[in-house]
Structure formats: C-alpha cells, structure tokens
Amino acid sequence: MIALGGFFALDGGAFGDSTGQVYYLGPDTLMWDDTGMTYSGLVQFAARGDLASYYEKLRWPGWEHEVRPLSGDQGIYVYPFLCAREGGPISARSRAVVPMLELWRLDLLLQHKLAQLPPGTAFRVSLEGEATDGTSNGLGSLSP
C-alpha cells in the first residue's frame, strides 16, 4: 500500500555497499530498510508476492474503497502520522487524499527532523503554507 506514502528506491550507492538492492522508506518507520530484493525481485514480488502480509500493519477495514479511486500521483495522508506512537489504529485516524509529492516531502521532512531529536522526545508539527496543488496545509516545521 504505497498509497500511504511508502516509497521504494533502487540503491545506486547512497545506502552503502548494496548497489542494485531495493530499499523501502515506510511511513510508519521513516527508515530506509533493505528489502533484500533487486529491481527484478521487486517486480516479481509486486506481481506474485504476499502483499497482504507485507502491508498488513498499513491496512484498515475498507481500505480498498479509499485506495481504488486514487490516480497514480495521489496518496493518502494520515494524521496522527503513522510514525507516531499515539493515534491508535489507522481506521481511527484522519485520512485525506493529497498529491503523492506532498507525502514524499512529508516523509523526508519528518525523517530528517526526527533524526535530530533524542529517542523518545515529544515533538510538535506545524503544517502551514501552500501545498503543491495550490491549496493551504502545505508542509511546515517540526520542533521539540
């Protein structure tokens, strides 16, 4: 369910000695994890793998009906963020359709800012400005 802002990347050397491996940035962990697959392995997994198990923690009752109408450049913004301990199950969190570019920027912003905080530090997120589609609620800042 990449629709929630999970992203795959083919390592060209940025992740160390694993050139050619596929990494996954999960919206729930905000960590780049080695999938143990190459690009062809990812394509095979996407076509015939156990996607239900892989994305089990990122699904909720009725997710199919929310995801089905999305275009390829849209995703689902979840608040409280999936990386937050608080917030309960995804089904109890607010969800909205947003441009995928906003989810990408949000994941990278959160990943960068949270890496600067000691583990367990409470933080506050301020969403302000203009979004990529010209509406309000663009990305803002994160502070302890």
**Per residue in 35-77, pLDDT tens?**
999 999 999 999 998 888 888 888 999 999 999 999 999 999 9
Pick from 22, 4, 1: nearest CA to 95 = 4
Tokens 């997710």 locate to: 63
- Helix (H) / strand (E) containing 106: helix 100-115
More confident call, 132 vs 70: 70
- Helix (H) / strand (E) containing 119: none
Distance separating alpha carbons of residues 64 and 108, to the nearest angstrom: 26
Q: Look at the alpha carbons of 49, 83, 71, 33 in this order and tell me if their dihedral is positive or negative.
A: negative
The backbone torsions φ and ψ at residue 137, rounded to the nearest 5 degrees and listed phi first, read 75, 30
Q: Which ranges of the chain would DSSP assign to H, the alpha helix?
A: 39-48, 51-54, 63-67, 100-115
Alpha-carbon Rg for the chain in angstroms? 16
Q: Is the predicted pLDDT of residue 134 greater than 70, yes or no?
A: no
| Threshold 0.85, pTM exceeds | no
Non-local CB neighbours of 109 within 8 Å, separated by 6+ positions: 139, 142
**Beta-strand pair 21-25/32-38:** antiparallel
Give the pLDDT band (50/70/90) at residue 18: confident
Pick from 54, 51, 66: nearest CA to 26 = 54
